[in-house]
Amino acid sequence: MISFNYETDFKLLDEAKTSSWISKIIEHHNCKKEEISYVFCDDEYLHRLNVQYLNHDTLTDIISFDYSIGKTISGDIFISVERVEDNAKYFDVDFNIELHRVIIHGILHYCGFKDKTEDDAKLMRAKEDEALFMLKEMS
């Protein structure tokens, strides 16, 4: 089950389509979906989590808590809508494209993709692009 929760004045345009897309990406990577909870929030909310749980005193666009076991995907994904907006402007991309990139980024981590090294980050970006293409094909 995928749930969407809101701690800020924001709402996904199409929760059903987004949920279907996420499920499709999980299956594409030969994983099984369990409980996945998204929480959309502001910078302040996510900053508190970053300090409290990760001991990082920085702003970020996403924090994910991975409860996956093997190929069974489960976790809580927190996304700062403010960071996504700023990043979309910075990278000169549409807000919804950046939002969906961040949404799927957490799932790709759960599927086993990393982004700490340059090579891993390139692969992660390619998988994000592939997922965004699949979303576009669903339209």
Annotated binding site for Zn(2+): which residue ranges? 105, 109, 115
> What six digits make up the tokens of 87?
């990043």
Query: What's the CA gap between 126 and 27, in Å, rounded?
Result: 17
Report CA-CA distances (Å) from 18 to 8, 78, 89, 112: 19, 16, 22, 21
Residues 37, 58: contact at Cβ < 8 Å? no
Q: What angle do CA 19, 50, 33 make, to 5 degrees?
A: 25
The CB density around residue 128, as the number of other CB atoms within 10 Å, is: 21
Which residues fall in the annotated binding site? 105, 109, 115
Amino acid letter, 134: M
